[in-house]
C-alpha cells in the first residue's frame, strides 16, 4: 500500500458538529456507525494522539499490531482499516490529504519523558497524562 492521497468530497459547512481543540487539551466523544469524522491539522506538523474504543464495551480498543499486520503495511493512509483487539474493523480511513500516519511511535508519557529528556521532566506535560482525565474521570479506574 503506497501513500494514497484522496481528498474528501464532503463539505464541512454541512457538518453536524465542528470543534476546535485547543493546544494541550484532550477530547472524547462517541461517533456512531456510518458517520464520517474529519480531523483537520490547523497549523501543520501535528501529532494527534488518537485512541478508539468500542463505545458499548471499552475493553475492545484500537490495536496497532492487528491493524498493521492485517494490511501488511506499517503506514496508515486512505483504505487502512483500523482494527480492534477483537479483530473487528472499528473504522476505515476514507480520505487523507497527508498520505502517511504513524501508529508505531506510541504516545509520550511521564515515564517515557523521564528517559527521553530527564528524570526531572517526569512531572511535565505529556500525551498520556493529557488523555487520562477524559478516559478515566475522577472516581473511575482503568
Partner 1 sequence: MANINFFSKVTVGERGEMQFQPGNSTAGDSVELRFEMNTLVVLSTSPHPLDPNPVYAPKALATYRVAFRSAGRGRLLPQFPPENRRGFYNTEILFR
For partner 1, the binding residue among 31, 51, 115, 134 (CB under 8 A) is 115
Q: Among 132, 136, 119, 141, which residue's Cα sits nearest to residue 49?
A: 132
Q: Is 105 in the site for partner 1 (CB under 8 A)?
A: no
**Residue 63 CB, nearest distance to partner 1 (Å)?**
8
| Minimum CB–partner distance for residue 105 and partner 1 (Å) | 12
Give the angle 62-108-100 at the CA atoms, nearest 5°: 55
* Residue 3 makes contact with partner 1 by CB under 8 A: yes
Least spacing, CB of residue 140 vs partner 1, in Å = 25
Contact region for partner 1 (CB under 8 A) — 8-16, 19-27, 65-73, 87-95?
A: 65-73
Residue 57 DSSP symbol: E
The single residue among 50, 65, 92, 97 that binds partner 1, judged by CB under 8 A, is 65
Stretch that binds partner 1, among 21-29, 37-45, 112-120, 124-132 (CB under 8 A): 112-120
Residue 123 binds to partner 1 (criterion: CB under 8 A): no
DSSP character at residue 96: B
User: What's the longest Cα–Cα distance across the chain?
Assistant: 48
Closest residue by Cα to residue 85 from 60, 113, 109: 60
**DSSP letter (8 states) at residue 62:** B
Whether the CB-CB separation of 8 and 94 falls below 8 Å is answered with yes
* Residues in the chain, overall count: 142
Q: Which residues bind partner 1 (CB under 8 A)?
A: 1-3, 64-65, 68-69, 72-75, 85, 100, 114-116, 118-119
Amino acid at each position: 500500500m503506497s501513500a494514497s492521497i484522496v481528498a474528501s468530497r464532503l463539505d464541512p459547512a454541512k457538518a453536524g458538529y465542528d470543534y476546535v481543540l485547543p493546544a494541550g487539551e484532550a477530547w472524547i466523544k462517541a461517533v456512531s456507525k456510518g458517520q464520517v469524522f474529519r480531523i483537520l491539522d490547523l497549523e501543520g506538523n501535528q501529532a494527534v494522539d488518537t485512541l478508539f474504543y468500542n463505545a458499548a464495551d471499552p475493553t475492545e480498543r484500537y490495536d496497532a499490531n492487528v491493524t498493521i499486520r492485517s494490511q501488511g503495511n506499517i503506514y496508515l493512509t486512505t483504505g487502512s482499516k483500523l482494527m480492534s483487539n477483537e479483530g473487528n474493523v472499528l473504522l476505515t480511513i476514507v480520505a487523507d490529504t497527508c498520505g502517511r500516519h504513524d501508529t508505531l511511535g506510541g504516545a509520550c508519557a511521564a515515564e517515557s519523558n523521564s528517559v527521553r529528556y530527564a528524570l526531572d521532566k517526569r512531572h511535565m506535560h505529556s500525551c498520556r497524562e493529557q488523555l487520562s482525565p477524559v478516559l478515566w474521570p475522577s472516581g473511575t479506574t482503568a
